[in-house]
Structure 1
Amino acid sequence: MVFSSLIFIFLFLPIVLAIYYAFPSIAIKNWILIISSIIFYAWGEPIWVLLLLASATLDYCNGLWIEKYRNTWKAKLGIVSTLGFNLGCLAIFKYSGFVVDNINALTNLNIAQPSFALPLGISFYVFMSISYTLDVWYGRVQAQRNFGSFLVYIANFHHLVAGPVIRYGHIAKETMERRVRWMDFHAGITRFSRGLFKKVFIANTAGALAEPLLQQDPATATVLGAWIGVMFYTLQIYFDFSGYSDMALGLGRMFGFRYHENFRHPYIAKSITDFWRRWHISLSSFFKDYVYIPLGGNRYRQVRNIMIVWMLTGFWHGASWNFVLWGLYFGILLLIEKFFLAKILKASPAIFQHIYALFFIVVGWAIFYFTDLTQLLQHLQIMFGLTNAPLSSYKEISILQSNIYWIAFALLACIPIHRKMQNILAAKCSSSTVVATDMMQSVIYLVISIALLVGSTYNPFIYFRF
């Protein structure tokens, strides 16, 4: 089940909200969330609920074990157990096919591919479990003694299958004590409806435009077509993932949780460093706190540490060499900025900084898109005029002309214009006017999104495969 589905919007969510608010007890509310989250997760492949519960149970017990035997060798067993089990699950379910493919390619063997599918959300809930156990180990948080409260942290359907990567310390209090005011619920509906609109109206449209341009025969491709295909994909992946994050944050507010922001308008970045402070913030902070700093951070072998982190960041996104290349690509760019370009960029005009950042971001999404390295190389060659492909054709011009208003709207949505308008409205109007405006906006978003969902079967979600 996905948030951007009619079943979720009209059946699952209203029923869960009604039952949830029918009981005042926080313990009962927690178990309502747990049961509904298990149903949500099991909607597609029920068998993987067992893996989710096994991971959660192990890490719950390890947290208590580490706290009990803190500062002794026994506590290390909890860390080893958590890392071994969770990373082992990732290795088996996400990367075993990749390993088999590469062994077969190197040795000419014919080892059979694993037949199991990737469990939904495994990359997210595994990282959440690991971060919890490590935070208990470092003494940043106390171990959660109530299993129900711990399951609310790990298995909450708001963030279960597509993040963000929530830190236990951010919501520890809310797993045991929370109160939802009308303004929280209102803010949650507004955020959810805006995220749904971003996903359905912008991301889905961008994906439908990008796919034929990126998948076309290289013999018929043009330079312009190659570029605008990647640019449409650039819009798709941002509004797809940030839209889903908005929906997750909105759902959290409806149920009394305040999750941290995961995106801060990354396409207004003035450098690659700035971009990664704005894009998928929860993942970047995970690798910083649990990989980069323990390796030595800025103090010891900084270049090595940065390259390890970005190789792992790429590999987290998928079991394919293009993701590793994508991570290393950004790692190298970050090193170049850090040691050579930072002062030059800072002294340059803002427009130049934006163009520089967007150029390398867009090229990066081309690397990200093509899992076949031969296709990737062909597409990059076409983009940079290294083939006999013509500059443009009527087809690409027609696509741009017929979608010009949608393109303008999507580009405007990349900048914080909505927040600025809200600030102006709040400064000049009464609170009741602001609330009424938000409600009207939410209704418009929902009506448009639902109309598009009813009238279309194209509703992919990119980050489900991670």
Structure 2
Amino acid sequence: MSRFQEQKWRKTALVSGIVINLGILFFYKYYEFAGSLITDFFSWFGIGISIPQWNVLLPVGISFYIFQVVGYAVDVYRGTIKAEKNFIVYALFISFFPQLVAGPIERARNMLPQFKEKHKFSYENFDRGLRWMLWGFFMKLCVADRISTYVDAVYNNYMEHSGTSLLLATFFFTFQIYCDFAGYSLIAIGSSRIMGFHLMENFHRPYFSRSIKEFWRRWHISLSTWFKDYLYIPLGGNRVSHWRHLWNLFVTFLVSGIWHGANLTFVLWGTLHGLYQVVGIEKNRLLPQVKAPRKLHAVLNCLVTFVLVMFAWIFFRANDLHSAFEIIGRIFTHQGALFTGEGIPSLLLGFMCIGILMLKELKDELSLKIYALDSPHYGVRIASMSLFLAFIILSASFDGGAFIYFQF
């Protein structure tokens, strides 16, 4: 076989693999959504068409392992890694249970070599993994699940609530989705480390970001880098004209929104983040830098970024576009009494847990040498972990439901 024929065969195999896998994803996740859009489009012109609805169940976490399969195929084609000849090892890479249903979306070059190594018990791995899992359970049970009941009560009945309650629910959801997903990621990373496997970091204190660009370097890192490697760079990245670069950014975030779900709310959420990126680049290019003390400038940028991200989360959480715009309108126009949900003590506990979360992340962000769970002294570490576990058991909400990203 000539080199040209071999290259043609490899490209055909790659395209076929991508089409098949994305076709499976489309069928399970987007078929009904696309059908409803087509039906609505033709109905505007008075044309009635009927697209059969299969009502199939969405496999848990299908978006995550489909993207791992596609990433593996592209890496083999590029020559980044060699094709795995052991099917058991390949199957283990795709179905590794800690990160199967909600990531991190791992790379073959990181995981495949680990599956071929011998793994022995390591106290260091056990200790580190247990601490990560413990913090992950705190994020999920004490923050995400505790405030989720308030968020659901307000967002699912938004017409009955004031703008004040909707604003608080949006603030809570900003931390709910972070702690729900980052908590799962830490549990997955920690349980893997106990077994001797190293998964990539998926969140890096995103709410301390000073720009939307930085936010996406810290939020859902495995997905952000996946889109960068397999969509943004193939489109040309920033190695093209200025306007083409902006287009590549916008398309990448639009596709990211579509990846999150078959709903126009996710499409608009991704579009909004794409616009954030484009406007941020143009602002830095056209407007002079504001002169202010460095620390004050950093704090202001952090606050502005947080508000922009929180505003976008409204579209992510709302049940449909109409609800999202109604919620935004009511936040600015329907001020009134604050809905307390299960009562003031429950609200205060939610705020307290968010406060503990942010204090810990602030310590890590500023590299402050204040030790507790990560103390170098064994006795202090064990005592801190025991007290923290007791706090989790006493303050956790155990009826918060499944992880949000299971649906993706």
Normalising to structure 1: TM-score of the pair? Answer: 0.77
| Counterpart for residue 317 of structure 2 | 369
Question: What one-letter code is carried by the residue in structure 1 that aligns with 2:247?
Answer: R
Question: For structure 2, which runs of at least 5 residues remain unmatched after alignment?
Answer: 43-47
Q: Is 2:165–2:338's contact at 8 Å kept on the other side of the alignment?
A: no
| Counterpart for residue 196 of structure 1 | 137
1:437 counterpart = 2:377: no
Query: In structure 1, how many angstroms separate the alpha carbons of the residues matched to 2:375 and 2:101?
Result: 39
After superposition, the Cα gap between the structure-2 partners of 1:227 and 1:400, relative to the gap in structure 1 and judged at 3 Å, is: farther
3-state SS of paired residue (2:114): coil
Query: In structure 2, how many angstroms separate the alpha carbons of the residues matched to 1:347 and 1:170?
Result: 43
After superposition, the Cα gap between the structure-2 partners of 1:103 and 1:410, relative to the gap in structure 1 and judged at 3 Å, is: same
1:205 counterpart = 2:150: no
Query: In structure 1, how many angstroms separate the alpha carbons of the residues matched to 2:4 and 2:313?
Result: 46
| Counterpart for residue 462 of structure 1 | 404
1:403 counterpart = 2:353: no
Task: Please give the residue correspondences for 1:96-175 in structure 2 after superposition, counting only pairs within 5 Å.
Answer: 96-107=31-42, 108-175=48-115
1:340 counterpart = 2:275: no
Task: Please give the residue correspondences for 1:20-99 in structure 2 after superposition, counting only pairs within 5 Å.
Answer: 72-99=7-34
Q: Is 1:195–1:245's contact at 8 Å kept on the other side of the alignment?
A: yes
1:351 counterpart = 2:299: yes
3-state SS of paired residue (2:182): helix
| Counterpart for residue 203 of structure 2 | 263
Query: In structure 1, how many angstroms separate the alpha carbons of the residues matched to 2:342 and 2:134?
Result: 32
| Counterpart for residue 424 of structure 1 | 369
Task: Please give the residue correspondences for 1:225-264 in structure 2 after superposition, counting only pairs within 5 Å.
Answer: 225-264=165-204
**The 10-residue stretch of structure 1 (127-136 or 171-180) with the greater mean CA deviation from structure 2:** 171-180
Q: Is 1:194–1:442's contact at 8 Å kept on the other side of the alignment?
A: no
Query: In structure 1, how many angstroms separate the alpha carbons of the residues matched to 2:384 and 2:83?
Result: 42
Deviation at 1:371, TM superposition (A): 3.3
Normalising to structure 2: TM-score of the pair? Answer: 0.88
Question: What one-letter code is carried by the residue in structure 1 that aligns with 2:311?
Answer: V
After superposition, the Cα gap between the structure-2 partners of 1:193 and 1:110, relative to the gap in structure 1 and judged at 3 Å, is: same
1:313 counterpart = 2:261: no
**The 10-residue stretch of structure 1 (142-151 or 395-404) with the greater mean CA deviation from structure 2:** 395-404
After superposition, the Cα gap between the structure-2 partners of 1:260 and 1:422, relative to the gap in structure 1 and judged at 3 Å, is: same
Query: In structure 2, how many angstroms separate the alpha carbons of the residues matched to 1:396 and 1:446?
Result: 28
Question: What one-letter code is carried by the residue in structure 1 that aligns with 2:369?
Answer: I
Q: Which has the higher contact order (CA 8 A, sep 6+)?
A: 2
Query: In structure 2, how many angstroms separate the alpha carbons of the residues matched to 1:370 and 1:250?
Result: 32
3-state SS of paired residue (1:459): coil
| Counterpart for residue 123 of structure 2 | 182
Query: In structure 1, how many angstroms separate the alpha carbons of the residues matched to 2:107 and 2:195?
Result: 17
Query: In structure 2, how many angstroms separate the alpha carbons of the residues matched to 1:70 and 1:132?
Result: 22
After superposition, the Cα gap between the structure-2 partners of 1:118 and 1:423, relative to the gap in structure 1 and judged at 3 Å, is: same
Question: What one-letter code is carried by the residue in structure 1 that aligns with 2:223?
Answer: L
Q: Is 2:340–2:347's contact at 8 Å kept on the other side of the alignment?
A: no
| Counterpart for residue 49 of structure 1 | none
Percent of residue pairs identical: 30
Query: In structure 2, how many angstroms separate the alpha carbons of the residues matched to 1:217 and 1:448?
Result: 33
Deviation at 1:394, TM superposition (A): 4.8
| Counterpart for residue 63 of structure 1 | none
The match for 1:414 among 329, 339, 358 is: 358
Question: What one-letter code is carried by the residue in structure 2 that aligns with 1:111?
Answer: I
Query: In structure 1, how many angstroms separate the alpha carbons of the residues matched to 2:375 and 2:180?
Result: 33
Question: For structure 1, which runs of at least 5 residues remain unmatched after alignment?
Answer: 1-67
Query: In structure 2, how many angstroms separate the alpha carbons of the residues matched to 1:439 and 1:409?
Result: 21
Deviation at 1:106, TM superposition (A): 2.2
3-state SS of paired residue (1:172): helix
Q: RMSD of the TM alignment (CA)?
A: 2.7
Deviation at 1:414, TM superposition (A): 3.2
Q: Is 1:196–1:446's contact at 8 Å kept on the other side of the alignment?
A: no
After superposition, the Cα gap between the structure-2 partners of 1:210 and 1:238, relative to the gap in structure 1 and judged at 3 Å, is: same
| Counterpart for residue 273 of structure 2 | 330
Deviation at 1:425, TM superposition (A): 5.3
Deviation at 1:247, TM superposition (A): 0.4
Query: In structure 1, how many angstroms separate the alpha carbons of the residues matched to 2:4 and 2:93?
Result: 23
| Counterpart for residue 45 of structure 2 | none
| Alignment coverage as a number of residue pairs | 390
Q: Is 1:234–1:365's contact at 8 Å kept on the other side of the alignment?
A: yes
Query: In structure 1, how many angstroms separate the alpha carbons of the residues matched to 2:52 and 2:269?
Result: 28
Query: In structure 1, how many angstroms separate the alpha carbons of the residues matched to 2:167 and 2:380?
Result: 38
1:384 counterpart = 2:332: yes
1:53-87 Cα shifts (integer Å, max 9, x gaps) = xxxxxxxxxxxxxxx99962111122022101110
Question: What one-letter code is carried by the residue in structure 2 that aligns with 1:360?
Answer: L
| Counterpart for residue 284 of structure 1 | 224
